Structure formats: structure tokens, C-alpha cells
Amino acid sequence: MAGPGNDLDATRAWTKDQWRRALLAERRRVPASVRFAEAMQLTGLLTSGRVVGRGQTLCAYVPIGSEPGSVQMLDEVADHGVRILLPIVTGPGPLDWAWYDGREYLRPGPFGLYQPIGERLGETALRIADVVLVPALAVDRYGTRLGRGAGYYDRSLSLAAPDTPLVAVVRDPEVFDRLPAERHDVTMTGVLTPGRGLLRLY
């Protein structure tokens, strides 16, 4: 990647906003064919039973723009008997949640997101998730996640049940040795990448 990770002395002093700009610019350069292949790899991982199993509940999200994954990925995971919760932005507080019932029940929401139109289950519905997939621009080996800066997940993940795996989803080159962290950041316990699979963080 040009920028982050190449010159550690230079990036060590970067702010979160500097990291975000560089990472988003790099994602925009990824060809559509590569994004498609990565989405297929993630689909294979999520339907293999190694991340989440049949009958379990997966907290996920609808990938938008250059985010890894696809709606088709959600469909195939659901077809494997996994129940999927999706987030709903309702205001400045923690996220609300609803079941994913198929792409025909998604509607545009804030920030370009796609949200389910089914019954809202409330902020604490996150507690029933067996695994939580968290969108990210990057993550480091200590579990520090870099999001887009709105803070919704940091305000929401504390409501998950204790010991629930919190798994950041990024591209292979977006796992770094060290990212800037703040006190309110919620630490990830794992990272899922198309090529490296599920990695435990510590």
C-alpha cells in the first residue's frame, strides 16, 4: 500500500484522519474484479462453519462502496442457516437492529447505508449475536480498529454479551502493526480478511 505501512517512521505520527484518507484512497484504486473475488472469498469463509455456524446469530452489515463483501454474501450465509442481524442508524446513540430477510427488504438509510425495514429489535438485540462482524478501514494486531469516524460501533459494541467475538472485516493489506487509538475505542478480538481468513488478535 502506498502510504500506510510502508514508512513506519512517517505513519507513526499520523492522525486517524490521515489514515482514513490514505486507506479510502487505496480502496478506491482496487479494481472491481478484485473486489468481486474478495467478496467470494469472504463468502466461502462465512459459509464454511469456521466463523459462524448453522443456527447461530451473526451481526453483520451491508457492505457499501469499496467495503469488502457483498449483499450476495449475506444471502448465502443466510441460506446456510445463519440468522443475520443488521444495524439501523436512528440517531446519535447506539445502533438499533433488525433481522435480514433478503435484499428486497433493504432501503437506503443515513450515510449511504442500506438498512432492513423489518421490526426494530432495539439496541440490546446485539446481545443475542454469537459473532459480530464490524466494518473497518483497518485494524492492528492489538485489536485497534479504524472506522470511518462516526462512532456508532464504539457506542454499540459495549452492549454485546461478554466474550462475544468482535471481528473486524478488512482487506488483506489493511492489517497493520500499530494504529492510533483513543480511550473510547472498542478492541476487536479478531479480524477476517479474504486471503488470510479469521485471525485472533491479542
Q: Is the pLDDT of residue 7 over 80?
A: no
Kindly report, residue by residue over 106-141, the tens digit of the pLDDT. Answer: 999 888 889 999 999 999 999 999 999 999 999 999
- Beta 190-193 vs 145-146: how paired, if at all? unpaired
Of 89, 86, 91, 92, the residue nearest 69 (C-alpha): 86
DSSP class of residue 196? T
What residues make up the domain containing 58? 8-200
Could you tell me if residue 1 is inside a domain?
A: no
Could you tell me if residue 13 is inside a domain?
A: yes
Could you tell me if residue 169 is inside a domain?
A: yes
Give the mean pLDDT of 39-60: 96
Could you tell me if residue 103 is inside a domain?
A: yes
CATH number of the domain enclosing 50? 3.40.50.10420
Could you tell me if residue 2 is inside a domain?
A: no
- Specify whether the CB–CB gap between 139 and 145 falls below 8 A: yes
Domains: count for the chain? 1
Q: Which of 94-98, 138-142, 184-188 has the lowest mean pLDDT?
A: 184-188
Could you tell me if residue 3 is inside a domain?
A: no
Q: Is the pLDDT of residue 182 over 90?
A: no
